């Protein structure tokens, strides 16, 4: 599988576009907003709290939002559109680290088994569903003004989206995020482009970089990941892609030759896929 080159000239075409970013106050979200602004885009950041020392400018606005709460994320989109009059791209990025492994059971005040802590599921998966739901509405709303290739959604998946990973709730949520991409890619064909990123270890504050690097494993800068996000925004033919990044190297691993979809088809021996059956009976 060949590595993916991300040239600067493609990224520069983000100039003048309006980008909404959830989870934009730190980590990958902040690196993406910073790079978008540097390249001349207009940005609306949504997060629980603003970035450090943030001040609204003509090019960048902040709105408080909790993506797991419907009213909060609904109002975020409505207010964000007012700032610049349109929305071109949405980065579905808000997320938190693991909360529970589904094995540390506790009892409530009545001595009954308490429910699991679903914070990670609610933010990383339900929040992504809420955001994508609104993104498809607002981006289709501009259909008369722009071609489908110029409007896109990028979702933050993870390396844990397609392999075993011991953080149970985080892995379940990120598998779900990949499911959003795969479930919508056919339905959005010719309307809105949808893609995802799958970063490996990245210095986002969710993981201790020193401990990981002590194992001889590199931890990449969030600026590396930000380039893959803007690449997917600006690459007008990319739809249904999943870009894996590790230590500054990029791979498209979903649709590529030798990628996840092709290998699945090979393992199944060329039988008609469940997706093909579903499309024919729907």
Predicted confidence (pLDDT) per residue in 134-160, tens digit: 999 999 876 545 566 789 999 999 999
Dump pLDDT digits (tens) for 60-103.
Answer: 999 999 999 999 999 999 999 999 999 999 999 999 999 998 89
pLDDT band of residue 194 (cuts 50, 70, 90) is very high
Which of 8, 31, 11, 7 minimizes the C-alpha distance to 222?
A: 31
Dump pLDDT digits (tens) for 250-269.
Answer: 999 999 999 999 999 899 88
Integer angstrom CA distances of residue 206 from 22, 209, 212 = 16, 9, 12
Domain ranges of the chain: 8-281
Tokens of 261: 């979809």
Dump pLDDT digits (tens) for 161-193.
Answer: 999 999 999 999 999 999 999 999 999 999 999
Dump pLDDT digits (tens) for 5-45.
Answer: 999 999 999 999 999 999 999 999 999 999 999 999 999 99
Residue 104 pLDDT? 87
pLDDT band of residue 1 (cuts 50, 70, 90) is low
CA atoms of 57 and 112, how far apart (whole Å): 52
- Dmax (CA) for the chain in angstroms is 62
> 2 pLDDT exceeds 80?
no
Average of per-residue pLDDT across 235-249: 96
CA atoms of 101 and 116, how far apart (whole Å): 9
CA atoms of 84 and 3, how far apart (whole Å): 36
CA atoms of 117 and 248, how far apart (whole Å): 34
CATH superfamily of 8-281: NAD(P)-binding Rossmann-like Domain (3.40.50.720)
Residue 191 pLDDT? 93
């Amino acid at each position: 599988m060949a590595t993916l080159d991300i040239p600067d000239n493609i990224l520069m075409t983000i100039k003048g576009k309006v980008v909404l970013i959830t989870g934009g106050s730190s980590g990958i979200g902040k690196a993406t907003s910073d790079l978008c602004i540097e390249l001349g885009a207009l940005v609306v950041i949504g997060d629980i709290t603003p970035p450090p020392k943030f001040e609204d400018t003509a090019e960048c606005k902040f709105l408080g939002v909790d993506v797991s709460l419907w009213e909060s994320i609904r109002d975020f989109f409505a207010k964000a559109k007012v700032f610049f009059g349109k929305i071109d791209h949405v980065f579905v990025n808000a997320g938190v680290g693991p909360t529970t492994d589904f094995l540390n059971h506790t009892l409530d005040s009545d001595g009954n088994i308490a429910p699991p802590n679903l914070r990670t599921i609610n933010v990383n998966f339900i929040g992504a569903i809420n955001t994508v739901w609104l993104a498809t509405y607002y981006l289709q709303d501009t259909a008369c003004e722009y071609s489908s290739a110029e409007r896109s959604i990028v979702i933050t998946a993870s390396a844990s989206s397609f392999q075993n990973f011991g953080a149970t709730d985080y892995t379940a949520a990120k598998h779900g995020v990949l499911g959003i991409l795969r479930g919508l890619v056919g339905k959005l064909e010719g309307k809105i482009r949808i893609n995802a990123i799958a970063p490996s270890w990245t210095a986002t504050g969710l993981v201790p970089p020193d401990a990981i690097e002590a194992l001889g494993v590199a931890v990449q800068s969030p600026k590396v990941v930000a380039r893959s996000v803007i690449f997917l925004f600006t690459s007008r033919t990319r739809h249904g892609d999943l870009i894996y990044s590790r230590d500054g190297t990029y791979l498209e691993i979903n649709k590529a030759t030798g990628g996840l979809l092709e290998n699945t088809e090979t393992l199944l021996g060329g039988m008609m896929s469940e997706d093909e059956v579903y499309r024919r009976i729907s």
